[in-house]
Amino acid sequence: MQTISDTHRLHQQLKQWRSQGQTIAFVPTMGNLHSGHLLLVKEAKQRADRVVVSIFVNPMQFGAGEDLDAYPRTLEQDQASLVELGADLLFTPTPDLLYPKGLENQTFVEVPGISMLYCGESRPGHFRGVATVVCKLFNLVQPDLALFGMKDYQQLAVIRTMVRDLNMPIEILGIETVRNSDGLALSSRNGYLSANERQLAPELKRTLDWMAEKLREDNDLRALEQQAADRLNSAGFSTDYIHICHAHSLEKAGSDDKELVILAAAQLGRARLIDNLRVDLAD
């Protein structure tokens, strides 16, 4: 596996593969790779001739006071994992490479509407940073397809909307969330949890499962959201939001909607945990 940090060498290698008629799959990450990231790489290898992975801790998507400096960086370990899986190229750009004029003077991409909801409301500018860096990486790699985890359900929806609106010829694949045996979704930020918090953390998924059962017998969605938030707060979380939404538009669902997704974010100690659960009431 090659590790490349400059665009000239990146483009040379990509041009060679394309001249041979090979397809390219792309997995953008912020590193500190866990089994969820590695599943994306495995899926990519099944769907394309070549797999490119990027590692870039994107400063544009972190707000003031967030964990940009503390975000775990484990490049050597990540490289070893990718070599073992057979990834073809690791792209490791620097902030100076992607934002040579600085963040304040950087042209940005913003997806209206969907970016302002939920995590977008709690973290102003977050999805602008996500959309901008993913757009830049797509322009650099020009993949045939790109893979993202469904744990970041709203992020996936933002990227799909951006690709559709900007007519990017890239197939976007969402891959199911990978979980620990107790239900906690894998996340790089799980490492922030203390031993006691780690024991509490699976309550987030248990609450989503409880809501899914309640949805089949109770259509007072807003009351159910409040009960779920109260349940999490009583367990030791500080709930940011928990909403029952239309699975595609992500607008808050009404009592007649059948294709739903429950979106949740909650603070537990230093860790901000997010999760989601699809619920299809038409079954």
Give the Cα separation of 84 and 222 in Å (integer).
Answer: 47
Q: Given 37, 243, 246, 248, which residue is catalytic?
A: 37
Residue with tokens 């483009």: 11
Checking phi first, is residue 87 left (phi over 0); if not, alpha (psi -120 to 50) or beta? Answer: beta
CA–CA distance from 117 to each of 43, 63, 151 (Å)? 30, 16, 16
Helix 221-235 vs helix 203-215: angle between axes, to the nearest 10 degrees?
A: 160
Give the Cα separation of 178 and 35 in Å (integer).
Answer: 7
Q: Which of 258, 240, 9 is nearest to 123 (CA)?
A: 240
* DSSP-assigned beta bridge partners for residue 242: 264
Annotation marks residue 37 as catalytic: yes
Give the Cα separation of 127 and 117 in Å (integer).
Answer: 10
Q: Are 61 and 133 in contact (CB under 8 A)?
A: yes
Helix 153-165 vs helix 126-141: angle between axes, to the nearest 10 degrees?
A: 60
Q: Are 247 and 224 in contact (CB under 8 A)?
A: no
Give the Cα separation of 56 and 146 in Å (integer).
Answer: 16
Q: Are 271 and 220 in contact (CB under 8 A)?
A: no
What values do phi and psi take at 238, rounded to 5? -115, 100
Query: Active-site residues: which are they?
Result: 37
